[in-house]
């Protein structure tokens, strides 16, 4: 589809883009502009000239389809081959599959939510440049959700816990952490959404999410996951560019925007960091073949790369996010605290947990010389001994949750890993509890929003997490089994220790059949 | 800035007392025993005796820990919302000033978890 200028020459990519996007826009005439774009002003962000927006991609649909179609073809060819050759039997160890369950339930539905968020933001912006950029990203995100579900559905044929991720995201206790993170973003205004997801998540934190899962897949023989990861990579590069562009655009438009954006950067870096606790746990405990520790990943991808970014943004009056001192101290601790949580609540999760092997413990000791032997190894040793004696620890009492991040109150005081961090606020005659100064301050900035948090433990106690028609007053009522039913977790199959699980037995049996004559 | 919204924004708190059908939430943490990853949430009526909390509720939640059987309850130190607190054991939660979503912690002197590591 070539367009000619009056001189008869073909247009370059940049000019074609200009004509085909901005050139198609118009001003409202018979309706008021603020009625057509009702969400653009209420957050307090001032935009004087939407044309100052610099387009980061300059894609028209024809080139977009061409690139994406090529990537899809490659991806599905590899996924098909992987499925046909029983590629699942090439993973290092069936424990690895639990990292992928975590991805499917905790991350893939967020791709879908990102799709919805970007369509919404795109609709809300009066400027045609960001509108088109958001549309492209919305399409990418939908593609990510679908390619991930396609790739991982292969595992659902053979292993437990893969059967109902979208349903689980809405219900299962720990999945309220990623879910509420995204719900918070998509229910914010379009500018906050862009700073939350476009900038803080895609630009600042995305490497901490994708690199561990994609490299983890590569290290552990999981071609399917590796392939969708690589297929998403060039999209991610575009998303990062968009994230950076949006923030620079907002900051350049009006000095009054700076404090608002700063508050959002503080909020969303903290919220994103809290969600990444799950990734830290995955890296340190769930990959049979480790890539690097959570602490190392944080140092490379946040402290080094992020340091340069915030130096660059300082010319706009933006400082690094709040609470970085605490984050820096906590990098020795959070992955261990998270694993301990999932290990003990293993009866109500949709994936398996286990006692690390002796050399995995040694690896952790070497990666965390200042914390692991002192605080965490004795606990894991004790649990392993107990499990060997048939007394595996399953915590059956519901935990207290943080009102903001919704994670059980497992995090410790800044500087003291032996003390749980308790923070509370009295608001409208009710007490609200928080895991940290960060989560407390986020609540204090938006109490009317966060007092509505759907906290899974409290919802269970309100009687809202049983299947329809359940009567909790009947004799012998077993709340745990009813909650699992409500979650669509198959008790005895999806949950409990990996040791003795159906996944463990099946994997060993099938691998034996594939590699020997039995 | 409590609310940024395009129209009136008024909702109720998800965990307001009336949603718990006559009960209330009580959060309890055991200091220096992080084998229990987080404080617990219990659903109890406001007239529940404090003594019954110790005798009937906590053992089910904490009994797995070898330190639990060693606790001398007469020596236990309590905190309520982070401040030192002397519960009246024969009084109810309400009479001990423990309303909905109150948080208490107890410290057991001499008992500091597996191998003294606060686990
Ligand atoms: Fe994505
Ligand atoms: Fe929190």
Per-residue model confidence (pLDDT) at position A325: 93
| Nearest CB partner across the interface for B11, out of A398, A419, A452 | A452
Which phi and psi (to 5°) does residue B103 adopt?
Answer: -125, 125
User: Strand B83-85 vs strand B77-80: parallel, antiparallel, or unpaired?
Assistant: antiparallel
Domain B19-116: assigned CATH number: 3.10.20.560
| Mutate: best of A344, A459, A461, partner B, most B CBs <10 A | A461
Q: For residue A189, which residues of chain B lie inside 8 Å, CB to CB?
A: 4
| Average pLDDT across chain A, whole number | 94
Q: Does the pLDDT value for residue A51 go beyond 50?
A: yes
Instruction: Please choose, from the candidates A285, A33, A17, the residue with its C-alpha nearest in 3D space to the C-alpha of residue A132.
Output: A17
Q: Does the pLDDT value for residue A202 go beyond 90?
A: no
Instruction: Give distance in angstroms: CA of A403 to centre of ligand 2.
Output: 7
Per-residue model confidence (pLDDT) at position A476: 86
* Average pLDDT estimate for A225-253: 91
| DSSP one-letter code for A498 | S
d(C-alpha A55, C-alpha A45), whole Å = 20
d(C-alpha A152, C-alpha A222), whole Å = 10
Nearest chain A residue to B43 by CA distance is A461
Q: What are the E-state strand segments in chain B?
A: 24-30, 40-44, 77-80, 83-85, 102-107
Q: What percentage of residues in chain B have a pLDDT greater than 90?
A: 97
Instruction: Give distance in angstroms: CA of A16 to centre of ligand 2.
Output: 47
Per-residue model confidence (pLDDT) at position A3: 53
| Mutate: best of B3, B13, B22, partner A, most A CBs <10 A | B13
Contact A446/B3, CB-based, under 8 Å? yes
d(C-alpha A3, C-alpha A23), whole Å = 13
Instruction: Please choose, from the candidates A209, A95, A86, the residue with its C-alpha nearest in 3D space to the C-alpha of residue A144.
Output: A209
Q: For residue B22, which residues of chain A lie inside 8 Å, CB to CB?
A: none
pLDDT digits (tens, 9 = 90+) for A128-173: 989 989 999 999 999 999 999 999 999 999 999 999 999 999 999 9
pLDDT digits (tens, 9 = 90+) for A86-112: 999 999 999 999 999 999 999 999 999
* Average pLDDT estimate for A499-515: 95
Contact A430/B81, CB-based, under 8 Å? no
Q: Does the pLDDT value for residue A204 go beyond 90?
A: no
Q: Does the pLDDT value for residue A181 go beyond 70?
A: yes
Q: Residue ranges per domain, chain B?
A: 19-116
Per-residue model confidence (pLDDT) at position B111: 98
Instruction: Please choose, from the candidates A343, A363, A215, A221, the residue with its C-alpha nearest in 3D space to the C-alpha of residue A284.
Output: A363
CB-based neighbours (< 5 A) of ligand 1, an ion: A 111, 141, 144
Q: Apex CA B39: angle with CA B38 and CA B41, to 5°? A: 120
Q: What percentage of residues in chain A have a pLDDT greater than 90?
A: 82
pLDDT category, A16, cuts 50, 70, 90?
confident
Contact B41/A43, CB-based, under 8 Å? no
Q: For residue A412, which residues of chain B lie inside 8 Å, CB to CB?
A: 34
Contact B117/A378, CB-based, under 8 Å? yes
Contact B14/A453, CB-based, under 8 Å? yes
Domains, chain A, in order of start with CATH, read 58-515 (1.10.620.20)
Q: For residue B13, which residues of chain A lie inside 8 Å, CB to CB?
A: 428, 430, 451-452
pLDDT category, A417, cuts 50, 70, 90?
very high
Tell me how close the Cα of A373 comes to any Cα of chain B, in angstroms. 10
Contact A454/B14, CB-based, under 8 Å? yes
* Average pLDDT estimate for B46-56: 98
| Average pLDDT across chain B, whole number | 97
> How far is CA A451 from each of CA A211, A435, B13, B27, rounded to the nearest angstrom?
34, 15, 5, 18
| Two structure tokens written together for A490 | 């198959």
Any idea which ligand is nearest the CA of A148?
1
d(C-alpha B105, C-alpha A506), whole Å = 45
d(C-alpha A450, C-alpha A477), whole Å = 32
Q: Which residues pair with A10 in a beta bridge?
A: A4
Residue A483 Rama label (left phi>0; alpha psi -120 to 50; beta): alpha
| DSSP one-letter code for B68 | G
Per-residue model confidence (pLDDT) at position A1: 45
d(C-alpha A397, C-alpha B58), whole Å = 10
Judge contact between A54 and A252, C-beta under 8 A.
no
Q: Does the pLDDT value for residue A9 go beyond 80?
A: no
Neighbours of A491 (CB within 10 A): 14
What is the ipTM score, two decimals?
0.98
> How far is CA A168 from each of CA A33, B26, B75, B76, rounded to the nearest angstrom?
41, 27, 45, 41
| Two structure tokens written together for A513 | 């059949």
Q: What are the E-state strand segments in A404-482?
A: 412-413, 416-420, 423-427, 430-434
Q: For residue B41, which residues of chain A lie inside 8 Å, CB to CB?
A: 397-401, 457-458, 461
Provide the H-helix boundaries in A85-127: 97-106, 108-124
Per-residue model confidence (pLDDT) at position A4: 56
- The helix/strand count (H/E) of chain A reads as 24, 4
Return the sign of the alpha-carbon dihedral for residues A134, A135, A140, A146.
Answer: positive
Tell me how close the Cα of B107 comes to any Cα of chain A, in angstroms. 11
Q: Does the pLDDT value for residue A323 go beyond 90?
A: yes
d(C-alpha A479, C-alpha A457), whole Å = 12
d(C-alpha A496, C-alpha A208), whole Å = 28
pTM of the model: 0.96
Neighbours of A469 (CB within 10 A): 5
| Nearest CB partner across the interface for A382, out of B61, B99, B119 | B119
* Average pLDDT estimate for A228-238: 88
SS3 label, residue A140? helix
Each as own residue / partner, the long-range contacts of residues A72-79 (CB below 8 Å, 24 or more positions apart, any chain) are A72/A143, A72/A147, A72/A231, A74/A227, A74/A231, A75/A147, A75/A151, A75/A227, A75/A228, A75/A231, A76/A150, A78/A223, A78/A224, A78/A227, A79/A150, A79/A151, A79/A154, A79/A224, A79/A227, A79/A228
Tell me how close the Cα of B39 comes to any Cα of chain A, in angstroms. 6
Q: How far apart are the first and last CA of chain A?
A: 60
| Nearest CB partner across the interface for B32, out of A395, A397, A418 | A418
| Nearest CB partner across the interface for A457, out of B9, B41, B105 | B41
Higher pLDDT, A24 or B91: B91
Which of A354-363, A444-453, A467-476, B81-90 is predicted least confidently?
A: A467-476
d(C-alpha B18, C-alpha A367), whole Å = 49
Which residues lie below 8 Å from residue A20, measured CB to CB, with a gap of 6+? A60
d(C-alpha A469, C-alpha A500), whole Å = 33
Judge contact between A141 and A114, C-beta under 8 A.
yes
Instruction: Give distance in angstroms: CA of A113 to centre of ligand 1.
Output: 10
| Mutate: best of A378, A408, A417, A453, partner B, most B CBs <10 A | A378
Q: Which residues pair with A353 in a beta bridge?
A: A497
């Amino acid at each position: 589809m070539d367009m000619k200028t009056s001189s008869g020459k073909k247009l370059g990519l940049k000019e074609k883009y200009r004509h085909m996007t901005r050139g198609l826009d118009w001003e409202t005439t018979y309706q008021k502009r603020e009625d057509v774009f009702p969400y653009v002003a209420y957050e307090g962000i001032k935009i004087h000239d939407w044309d100052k927006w610099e387009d980061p991609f300059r894609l028209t649909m024809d080139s977009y389809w061409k690139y994406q179609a090529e990537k899809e073809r490659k991806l599905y060819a590899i996924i098909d081959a992987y499925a046909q050759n029983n590629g699942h039997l090439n993973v290092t160890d069936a424990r690895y599959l639990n990292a992928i369950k975590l991805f499917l339930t905790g991350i893939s539905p967020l791709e879908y939510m990102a799709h919805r968020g970007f369509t919404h933001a795109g609709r809300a912006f009066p400027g045609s440049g960001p509108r088109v950029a958001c549309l492209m990203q919305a399409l990418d995100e939908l593609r990510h959700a679908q390619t991930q579900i396609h790739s991982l559905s292969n595992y659902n044929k053979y292993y437990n816990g893969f059967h109902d991720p979208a349903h689980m995201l809405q219900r299962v206790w720990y999945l309220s952490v990623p879910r509420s993170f995204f719900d918070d973003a998509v229910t914010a205004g379009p500018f906050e959404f862009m700073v939350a997801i476009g900038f803080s998540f895609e630009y600042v934190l995305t490497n901490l999410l994708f690199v561990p899962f994609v490299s983890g897949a590569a290290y552990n023989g999981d071609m399917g996951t590796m392939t969708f990861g690589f297929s998403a990579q060039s999209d991610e590069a575009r998303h990062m560019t968009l994230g950076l562009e949006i923030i620079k655009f907002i900051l350049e438009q009006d000095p009054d925007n700076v404090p608002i954006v700063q508050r959002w950067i503080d909020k969303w870096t903290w919220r994103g960091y809290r969600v990444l606790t799950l990734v830290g746990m995955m890296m340190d405990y769930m990959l049979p073949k480790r890539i690097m520790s959570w602490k190392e990943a944080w140092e490379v991808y946040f402290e080094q790369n992020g340091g340069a970014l915030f130096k660059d943004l300082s010319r706009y009056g933006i400082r690094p996010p709040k609470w970085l001192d605490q984050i820096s101290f906590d990098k020795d601790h959070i992955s261990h605290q998270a694993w301990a949580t999932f290990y003990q609540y293993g009866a109500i999760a949709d994936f398996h947990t286990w006692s690390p092997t002796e050399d995995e413990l040694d690896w952790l000791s070497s990666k965390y010389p200042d914390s692991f032997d002192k605080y965490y190894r004795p606990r894991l040793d004790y649990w392993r001994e107990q499990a060997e004696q048939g007394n595996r620890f399953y915590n059956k009492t519901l935990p207290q949750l943080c009102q903001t991040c919704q994670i059980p109150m497992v995090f410790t005081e800044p500087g003291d890993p032996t003390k749980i961090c308790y923070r509370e606020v009295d608001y409208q005659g009710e007490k609200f509890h928080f895991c940290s100064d960060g989560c407390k301050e986020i609540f204090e900035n938006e109490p009317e929003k966060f007092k509505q948090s759907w906290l899974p433990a409290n919802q269970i106690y309100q009687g809202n997490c049983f299947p329809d028609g359940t009567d909790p007053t009947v004799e012998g009522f077993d709340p745990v089994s009813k909650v699992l039913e409500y979650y669509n977790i198959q008790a005895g199959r999806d949950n409990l220790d990996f040791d003795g699980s159906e996944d463990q037995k099946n994997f060993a049996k099938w691998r034996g059949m594939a590699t020997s004559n039995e | 800035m409590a609310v940024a919204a395009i129209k009136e924004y008024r909702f109720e708190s998800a965990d307001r007392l009336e949603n718990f059908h006559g009960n209330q939430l009580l959060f309890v943490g055991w200091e220096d025993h992080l084998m229990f990853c987080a404080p617990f949430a219990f659903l109890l009526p406001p007239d529940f005796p404090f003594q019954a909390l110790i005798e009937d509720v906590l053992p089910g939640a904490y009994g797995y820990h070898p330190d639990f059987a060693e606790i001398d309850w007469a020596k236990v130190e309590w905190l309520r919302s982070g401040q030192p607190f002397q519960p009246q054991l024969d009084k109810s939660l309400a009479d001990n000033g423990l309303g909905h979503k109150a948080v208490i912690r107890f410290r057991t002197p001499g008992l500091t978890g597996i191998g003294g590591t606060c686990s």
